[in-house]
């Protein structure tokens, strides 16, 4: 009896070792779980479900196989793959959730979020998020010819890389006030999120009650998975296969 949480795998063609690690995880560790939650940034970028990127089909097949072994799979969008749509979710056997999403986990109410919403000090990013949430803009972007979308994405990823390089680490972390507000507004005392790439379990007091914020790790250097059982949460690392082994598929 266990529920698994992963996030920030940031899959891309340049990192076949991460793809191999995730497929191995889905074919082994995740089999038999009560459910698997993917809390965003599964992919390094996403410009539409119609993107013929072969990586997408490889990953959809692996998730679909797991869902067909009766492991429900849930997905919350990250700041990278926020355009991942119902068409792809269906191909991958995933159910899309909103952000935040409240679940009952072995009798405990838990807030699930990607985590970017909690980084309130990063005003530049919050502005980017508000703009790209606009329905009409998403409608327009997704109808641009694919090469155009690829060019825009390439440019924006370069910009993000530069911006992140000079932004202070502190503004790219969650703000305690935003964490408290999200817990209070949903009457929860446990939160699980990703995005900051700072894996940890933080125990603190909220309105005189014990509270817990669990941050999932990214998969750049090693895999990171949260294993929840009744009354127990364990954050574990998973080694990535050596890059050359992975490229042999």
Ligand X SMILES: O=C(CCCCNC(=O)Nc1ccc(S(=O)(=O)N2CCN(c3cc(Cl)cc(C(F)(F)F)c3)CC2)cc1)NO
What residue numbers does the annotated binding site for Mn(2+) cover? 8, 10, 41, 79, 114, 195, 197
Question: Which has the closest alpha carbon to 197: 179, 182, 218, 176?
Answer: 218
Q: x/- string (CB under 6 A) for ligand X, residues 161-200?
A: ---x-------x----------------------------
Tell me whether residue 78 or residue 100 sits nearer to Mn ion (CB atom): 78
Q: Tell me: does residue 215 bind ligand X (CB under 6 A).
A: no
d(CA 182, CA 199): 19
* Residues of the binding site for substrate: 79-80, 122, 160, 164, 167, 195
Q: Which two tokens stand for residue 191?
A: 């939160």
Binding partner of 172, given ligand X, Mn ion, none, CB within 5-8 angstroms per partner class: ligand X
Q: Which residue in the block uniquely carries the two structure tokens 């809390």? A: 39
Query: Closest approach of Cβ 115 to ligand X, in Å?
Result: 9
Distances (CA, A) of 208 to 9, 37, 179, 211: 35, 29, 15, 9
Q: Phi first, then psi: what are they for 90, rounded to 5°?
A: -65, -40
d(CA 171, CA 242): 33
Q: x/- string (CB under 6 A) for ligand X, residues 78-97?
A: -xx--x--------------
Contacts with Mn ion, residue ranges (CB under 5 A): 41, 78-79, 195
């Amino acid at each position: 009896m266990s529920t698994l949480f992963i996030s920030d795998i940031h899959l891309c063609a340049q990192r076949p070792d991460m793809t191999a690690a995730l497929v191995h995880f889905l074919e082994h560790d995740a089999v038999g779980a009560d459910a698997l939650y993917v809390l965003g940034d599964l992919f390094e970028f996403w410009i539409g479900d119609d993107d013929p990127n072969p990586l997408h089909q490889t990953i959809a097949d692996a998730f679909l196989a797991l869902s067909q072994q009766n492991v429900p799979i849930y997905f919350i969008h990250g700041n990278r793959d926020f355009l991942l749509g119902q068409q792809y979710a269906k191909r991958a056997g995933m159910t899309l959730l909103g952000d935040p999403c409240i679940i009952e986990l072995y009798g405990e109410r838990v807030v699930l979020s990607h985590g970017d919403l909690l980084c309130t000090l990063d005003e530049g990013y919050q502005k980017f998020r508000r703009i790209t949430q606009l329905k009409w803009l998403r409608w327009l972007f997704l109808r641009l010819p694919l090469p155009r979308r690829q060019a825009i994405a390439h440019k924006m990823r370069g910009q993000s890389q530069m911006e992140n390089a000079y932004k202070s680490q502190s503004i790219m972390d969650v703000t305690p006030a935003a964490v408290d507000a999200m817990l209070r507004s949903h009457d929860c005392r446990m939160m699980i999120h990703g995005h900051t790439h700072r894996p940890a379990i933080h125990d603190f007091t909220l309105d005189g009650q014990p509270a817990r914020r669990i941050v999932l790790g990214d998969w750049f250097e090693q895999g990171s998975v949260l294993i929840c059982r009744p009354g127990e949460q364990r954050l574990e690392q998973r080694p990535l296969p050596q890059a050359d082994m992975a490229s042999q598929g």
